[in-house]
Amino acid sequence: MRNSSKEKYKVAVLGSGNWGSVAAKLIASNTLRNNDFHGEVRMWVHDEILPSGEKLSTVINQTNVNVKYLPGVKLGKNVVADPDLDSSVGKIFAVRDANMLVFVTPHQFVDDVCKRLVGKIPGDVEAISLIKGMEVKVEGPRMISSVISEHLGVDCCVLMGANIAHEIAEEKFSEATIGYRVNTEAAKRWARLFSTPYFAVTAVQDVEGVEVCGTLKNVVAIAAGFVDGLNMGMNTKAAIIRIGLNEMRAFSKRLFPSVKDDTFFESCGVADLIATCFGGRNRKVAEAFAINGGQRAFKELEEEMLKGQKLQGVLTAEEVYGVLQKNKWLDLFPLFRTIHEICTGNRPVSAIISCNEPQLA
Amino acid sequence: MRNSSKEKYKVAVLGSGNWGSVAAKLIASNTLRNNDFHGEVRMWVHDEILPSGEKLSTVINQTNVNVKYLPGVKLGKNVVADPDLDSSVGKIFAVRDANMLVFVTPHQFVDDVCKRLVGKIPGDVEAISLIKGMEVKVEGPRMISSVISEHLGVDCCVLMGANIAHEIAEEKFSEATIGYRVNTEAAKRWARLFSTPYFAVTAVQDVEGVEVCGTLKNVVAIAAGFVDGLNMGMNTKAAIIRIGLNEMRAFSKRLFPSVKDDTFFESCGVADLIATCFGGRNRKVAEAFAINGGQRAFKELEEEMLKGQKLQGVLTAEEVYGVLQKNKWLDLFPLFRTIHEICTGNRPVSAIISCNEPQLA
């Protein structure tokens, strides 16, 4: 056991986008002052050539700033950008000797990254996923944490919450929730690794609940954007967020009976939902959809407002609808159902507020 | 029993301010089309002389509009304004033959109104309180619904929720929660009386939980205003609202062990909290307090921004602090505690975000 042998925990951050860079900054501030951890934090950079002709990883190591994805913010001198994830030739590479792996790549790259790591990391490595992008497929939900666990045979926690990255980079107070399966000691260690006076982390034994929240909130944010676009006022918006929170809760429990109600009172639940329904691009593009009376399709707005990138909430709404349809749950989730029907042009935007008939006791 | 004798339910609305007028409008639309109820809805008006020299009650009955407190909105022809609450001389007065009483006066007048009704209404009358202003005293909480029950010896439900009155008057979609003690039939009847396609009412068996939410949310809104004034961003605001919701939950349960977690997922809980923390005057004045760095006292800001009216959240924060202090609970409620300490100038506004240290699992 590492603890008994006093071996230190060595952290590798896999991913160096906006959120990955902020995560590396948080972690590096803790590994410096906590003797349980190696000071150095390796951050794997999927390298790219900057307009200056230099490599991104080189510039990060020279300036200590991720000039492309988190400009202006010092990551900490103990963050080492490493373009080599898993080298079988070089002696130094990102995951070498690491026993705590932080997954924070774009979600479409998780499979590839995991495949490259198979056989190259020991079984007692601990992992955590900061990646949002769980899929809710008819054939069964595909959690990112499970994908990592299955590929690598390791335990994988998740960290989610009301975490707009640039606000955390500015050291404005935020909270986050760690979801873990059974290993309480690992969860505490992850909490120590991430917690700072401006980043308050709580661990709950509900990995599914935490990860599902991070996905379903984007669906509710579409509804919030519709209400904003319809100019319905604060009562309606608060009602739609509340109904959304309750459908998130009910839907999560149908997918995973172990999901706990208390999880929705954590940062990953109600707080992330509030932040996403008042900020964020799902809300924003949905608002534009409503303002245009549904006459401009999401595809068109995505091209214009997101340079063609797909809106996560619209994709997840479609997946959720498939699950509702297959299980004959459509009538049990009037908000989720209606969101998808509006997104696809099958109902007018105004249907968002008529989907909930008064509930007589 | 009224039901077996086919006697109809007759409703009196006691109060004719902004929210009372909207309540009368909602109720009147239902009594017209539902045969369980008398069509006519009596609305007691604490009469006043308008600048035109006419009586408010006379103008309401002539125009069907409460020109002073809800201008521009038709209440329904079956709403009858009555300046006589409880006449012992006249034959017609507001509560005559009424068996459903809706209390919606300013909270400081409840005692007086109840005293005037003692002995004048039968014991099988049902009451509901729409009044926010429960007091959280050291000697024990003083619920408005209990005050009404004790004075009149009748059962009293409450109705709370994300209910900005003018939005409901405009028939924008809202939700509300009825809290009841034991009488499920009465709760269903109240829900039928209030529910419309744009006003969705749910009843829960938790009168204390519902009423406490309506009071404590104002305290959290003060914190939300501080965060806005400090320009802390969405993560922090969402975190403070979440922490506030959880302190509301924990505090309510300490006052009333019967309070249910589920109540906080209702409109009276999370939805009203969201609406109050993003709109409302508690948030607004607290924001001004923070922008001025605490250099201008609440008293001064209240005089300027509220024409001297006291801010409910500041008063309740003081009451809550007294209860925390008496019970040695100060350390258990760091947000509630800090809000009061900031309001009284004993801590800087910035303390609002340092009150929550990272919680290690």
- CA pair distance A73, A66, nearest whole angstrom: 8
Counting residues of chain B whose pLDDT is more than 70, the rounded percentage is: 95
Residue A3's pLDDT is 47
Residue partners of B267: CB distance under 8 A and separation at least 6: A238, A239, A242, B160, B161, B162, B163, B174, B175, B176, B177, B202
- The CATH number of residue B264's host domain is 1.10.1040.10
Active site residues of A: 217
In a domain, B240, yes or no: yes
Query: A177, A205, A233: which is the final residue of a domain?
Result: A205
Q: Does B163 share its domain with B225?
A: no
* Least confident range of A38-42, A116-120, B65-69, B125-129: A116-120
- CA pair distance A329, A343, nearest whole angstrom: 19
C-alpha distance from A40 to closest chain B C-alpha (Å): 23
Residues of chain A found within 8 Å of residue B168, distances taken between Cβ atoms? 235
DSSP H or E stretch at residue A179: strand A174-179
AA letter at A285? V
In a domain, A2, yes or no: no
In a domain, A31, yes or no: yes
Tell me what ipTM this predicted complex has: 0.94
Residue A2's pLDDT is 45
In a domain, B360, yes or no: no
Query: What residue in A sits closest to B234 (Cα-Cα)?
Result: A275
Helices A110-117 and A144-152 cross at an angle (nearest 10°) of 20
- CA pair distance A220, A243, nearest whole angstrom: 9
AA letter at B320? V
Residue partners of B277: CB distance under 8 A and separation at least 6: B217, B220, B221, B224, B237, B241, B244, B283
Helix (H, G, I), strand (E, B) or coil at B42: strand
Residue A71's pLDDT is 97
Mutate to test the interface with B, among A34, A184, A226, A235 (most CBs of B within 10 A): A235
Backbone angles phi, psi at B11, to 5 degrees: -105, 135
C-alpha distance from A190 to closest chain B C-alpha (Å): 10
Does B307 appear as a known binding residue? no
Residue B86's pLDDT is 78
**What total of structural domains would you count in chain B?**
2
Summarize the confidence of residues A248-253 as an average pLDDT.
98
Residues of chain A found within 8 Å of residue B357, distances taken between Cβ atoms? 197, 200
In a domain, A177, yes or no: yes
Residue B357's pLDDT is 46
* Least confident range of A342-356, B29-43, B173-187: A342-356
Location of structure tokens 């661990």:
A203
- Statement: residue A123 has pLDDT above 70: yes
Residue A1's pLDDT is 41
In a domain, A135, yes or no: yes
Residues of chain A found within 8 Å of residue B241, distances taken between Cβ atoms? 270-271, 274
- Statement: residue A176 has pLDDT above 80: yes
In a domain, B343, yes or no: yes
Q: Does B21 share its domain with B154?
A: yes
Residue B16's pLDDT is 96
Residue A355's pLDDT is 64
Q: Does B124 share its domain with B164?
A: yes
Name the residue range of residue A225's domain. Answer: 215-353
Helix (H, G, I), strand (E, B) or coil at A142: strand
Q: Does B30 share its domain with B74?
A: yes
Residue partners of A271: CB distance under 8 A and separation at least 6: A161, A162, A175, B238, B239, B241, B242
Query: Is the separation of the CB atoms in A96 and A31 below 8 Å?
Result: no
- Statement: residue A360 has pLDDT above 50: no
Helix (H, G, I), strand (E, B) or coil at B128: strand
- Tokens representing residue B21 in the block: 């007028």
Residue A7's pLDDT is 80
C-alpha distance from B80 to closest chain A C-alpha (Å): 26
Place A358 in a pLDDT band, splitting at 50, 70 and 90.
Answer: very low
Query: B205, B236, B264: which is the final residue of a domain?
Result: B205
Sheet holding A9-14, edge to edge: A79-82, A37-44, A9-14, A100-103, A126-129, A155-160, A174-179, A199-204
Q: Does A82 share its domain with A169?
A: yes
Q: Does A175 share its domain with A226?
A: no
- The CATH number of residue B72's host domain is 3.40.50.720
- Statement: residue A150 has pLDDT above 60: yes
Positive or negative torsion for Cα B293, B298, B304, B306: positive
Q: Do B203 and A361 touch (CB under 8 A)?
A: yes
Location of structure tokens 């599902």:
A212
Q: Within 13 A of B143's CA, how many CA atoms are on the CB side? A: 24
- Statement: residue B5 has pLDDT above 80: no
Closest CA to B69 of B78, B77, B59: B59
Residue A228's pLDDT is 98
Percentages helix, strand, coil for chain A (3-state, rounded to 5) are: 50, 15, 35
User: Judging by beta carbons within 10 Å of its beta carbon (0-12, 13-18, 19+), is residue A112 exposed, middle or buried?
Assistant: exposed
Give the B window 41-80 contacts with A, CB below 8 Å. none
Residue B308's pLDDT is 82
- CA pair distance B328, B322, nearest whole angstrom: 10
Q: Does A187 share its domain with A233?
A: no
Query: Is the separation of the CB atoms in B160 and B71 below 8 Å?
Result: no
- CA pair distance B94, B75, nearest whole angstrom: 17
Query: What residue in B sits closest to A205 (Cα-Cα)?
Result: B361
Location of structure tokens 């923390």:
B277
Q: Does A199 share its domain with A221?
A: no
Helix (H, G, I), strand (E, B) or coil at B202: strand
Q: Does A199 share its domain with A240?
A: no
Report CA Rg, chain A: 21
Q: Within 13 A of A279's CA, how many CA atoms are on the CB side? A: 15
- CA A197, distance to chain mean position in Å, is 22
CA distance readout (Å), B352 to A270, B136, B222, B244, B340: 20, 22, 10, 11, 10
Q: Does A222 share its domain with A165?
A: no
Does A327 appear as a known binding residue? no
Summarize the confidence of residues A177-201 as an average pLDDT.
97
Summarize the confidence of residues B148-161 as an average pLDDT.
96
Query: B182, B205, B228: which is the final residue of a domain?
Result: B205
Q: Does B186 share its domain with B219?
A: no
In a domain, B38, yes or no: yes
Q: Does A103 share its domain with A83?
A: yes
